Amino acid sequence: MKFIHTADWHLGKLVHGIYMTEEQRVVLEQFVQLVEEEKPDAVIIAGDLYDRSIPPTDAVDLLNDILFKINVELNTPIIAISGNHDSAERLSFGTSWYKHSHFYLKGKLTDDFSPIMLNDVHFHLVPYAEPGLVRQILQDESIHSHQDAMKSVIGKIESQMDQDSPNIFVGHAFVLGGKETESERTLSVGGSGCVTSDLFGPFNYAALGHLHSPDALRHDSVRYSGSLLKYSFSEAKQRKSVSIIHIDSKGDINIEERLLSPARDMREIEGRLEELLDPSFYQKQKIDDYLKVTLHDEGALIDPINKLRQIYPNVLHLERKIDVMDMKQKQVFQSIRSEKKSELELFESFYHEMTTLDFSEDKREIMESVISVVKGEEERK
């Protein structure tokens, strides 16, 4: 049997104020093409189909279109679960009807741990669930952490599992040792959201979602497929791919990766402003990529972001490089802070420091009113 493992589509994602939906459509059309060529026996989507519980309507349209093409037009079974970004309830609407055409979408964890069987391979679907919910479903008061919860759920699955068939786990979790980036949402505030990889021992393969890099975890049979696209600059150097998993009747696994090519890459460039605006530099660049720009210039620059955007329309983030030379400036700034100036004076110094422009009267008025509103709100708290 052959199946494709993907996860973390995050449809409807906003990156630095830009909706990624059209980028996502481009890559998903490639994915549909891959399914058409590879003719897998199933497509597995290991959670975070949407980026949030109430996605924008064009993301809803996109997911519907793509799943329809894969499942109905290409007649390919789909196995999908919800992740921590999805609304389990909203995603669950209609799932009973989808089964007709071998589209198995498990939005909510329930006490039914029976697997989906396709070509004699057993798929065990475990949508993302908070430990509190697992405690309630399993009626086990000893469950407090994600580790407790996953251990108990897998215990239940193992107790009724057919050991003679290949068994695949499909889940959404943060496995200990996995490398995080900035675009995954922490699973647990003030406590460990981790689970250990040894929990997945009973399975021939664990198809995971949550971490965005296919290299997040070094393990033969417990794997993240990685996300569809780069969703933060901390992922700029990651490759984005889906995994094609071959499994034989003995349960032995073979893994291939297929790269995805977005219309626009997400990457970082750096240098002095003048260099970056020089045709001899930018003519060698794919200028419409999503860029984080780090400027090496010292001193003031007038409106660098707009100058950059005239060449590179999709600059999403601009930084100035602070090296040892700048520490003096930083110290000046810190000494200003320690002088106990008023907020307005502090802002004026900051403004001048950053722009070298005059802090004009109209700007002063705007800041005064902003400061008074914020202060008023703080007092009311």
Looking at the Cβ atoms of 67 and 211, the one nearer to a copy of itself is 67
CB 233 within 8 Å of CB 11: no
Closer to a copy of itself at the Cβ: 19 or 68?
68
Q: Is the CB of 58 or the CB of 275 nearer to a copy of itself?
A: 58
Sole binder of a copy of itself in the list 22, 29, 36, 89 (CB under 8 A): 89
Q: Taking CB under 8 A as the rule, does residue 96 contact a copy of itself?
A: yes
For the CB of residue 377, give the shortest distance to a copy of itself in the complex, in Å.
10
Strands 315-320 and 290-295: parallel
* Binding of residue 60 to a copy of itself (CB under 8 A): yes
Residue 94 binds a copy of itself, judged by CB under 8 A: yes
97 in contact with a copy of itself (CB under 8 A): yes
- Report whether 225 contacts 209 (CB < 8 A): yes
Q: Where does this chain touch a copy of itself (CB under 8 A) — which range of 35-43, 98-106, 192-200, 314-322?
A: 98-106
| Shortest CB 325 distance to a copy of itself, Å | 42
Contact 303, 295 (CB under 8 A): no
Shortest distance (Å) from residue 84 CB to a copy of itself: 16
CB of 112 to a copy of itself, least distance (A): 16
Q: Do the Cβ atoms of 174 and 193 come closer than 8 Å?
A: yes
> DSSP labels for 5-55?
EE----BT-EETTEE-HHHHHHHHHHHHHHHHHH--SEEEEES-SBSSSS-
For 11, the 3-state DSSP assignment is strand
Query: Residues 6 or more apart from 277 whose CB is under 8 A from it?
Result: 307, 308, 311
258 DSSP β-pair partners: 242
Out of 259, 327, 332, 373, the residue judged to bind a copy of itself by CB under 8 A: 373
Site size toward a copy of itself, by CB under 8 A:
26
Question: Treating both helix axes as pointing N-terminal to C-terminal, what angle do 21-38 and 57-68 enclose, rounded to 10 degrees?
Answer: 10
Q: Which two tokens stand for residue 304?
A: 């660098």
Q: Tell whether residue 369 is a contact of a copy of itself (CB under 8 A).
A: yes
Interacting residue with a copy of itself among 14, 26, 72, 277 (CB under 8 A): 72
**For residues 281, 285, 289 and 292, what is the CA-based torsion angle, rounded to 10 degrees?**
-40
According to the binding rule CB under 8 A, does residue 61 interact with a copy of itself?
yes
Question: Which of 250, 340, 380, 381 is in the footprint of a copy of itself by CB under 8 A?
Answer: 380
Report the residue number, 250 or 380, with the smaller CB distance to a copy of itself: 380
Please, what is the minimum distance in Å from the beta carbon of residue 85 to a copy of itself? 15
Q: If binding is defined by CB under 8 A, does position 54 make contact with a copy of itself?
A: yes
Q: Which of 380, 12, 70, 58 is nearest to 242 (CA)?
A: 70
Q: Measuring CA to CA, which residue among 235, 180, 242 is closest to residue 211?
A: 180
How far, in Å, CA of 194 to CA of 345, rounded?
Answer: 46
- Among the listed ranges 23-31, 64-72, 140-148, 297-305, the one in contact with a copy of itself (CB under 8 A) is 64-72
- Rounded to whole angstroms, the Cα distance separating 154 from 51 reads 26
Of 29-37, 66-74, 223-231, 301-309, the window that binds a copy of itself (rule: CB under 8 A) is 66-74
Residue of 33, 64, 114, 360 that binds a copy of itself (CB under 8 A): 64
Q: Considering the complex, what minimum distance in angstroms separates the CB of residue 248 from a copy of itself?
A: 32
Rounded Cα gap, residues 334 and 166, in angstroms:
62
Q: Helix, strand, or coil here: 201?
A: coil
Paired with 364 in beta bridges are: none
What does the longest C-alpha to C-alpha distance in the chain come to? 79
Which span sits near a copy of itself by CB under 8 A: 31-39, 128-136, 230-238, 372-380? 372-380
The answer to whether 93 contacts a copy of itself (rule: CB under 8 A) is yes
CA distances from 270 to 263, 305, 309, 353 (A): 22, 13, 14, 22
Angle at which helices 327-338 and 343-355 cross, to 10°: 160
* Using rule CB under 8 A, residue 111 touches a copy of itself: no
User: Which residues within the stretch 226-255 sit at the binding site for a copy of itself (CB under 8 A)?
Assistant: none
Q: Where does this chain bind a copy of itself (CB under 8 A)?
A: 54, 57-58, 60-61, 63-64, 68, 71-72, 87, 89-90, 92-94, 96-98, 100-101, 103, 369, 373, 376, 380
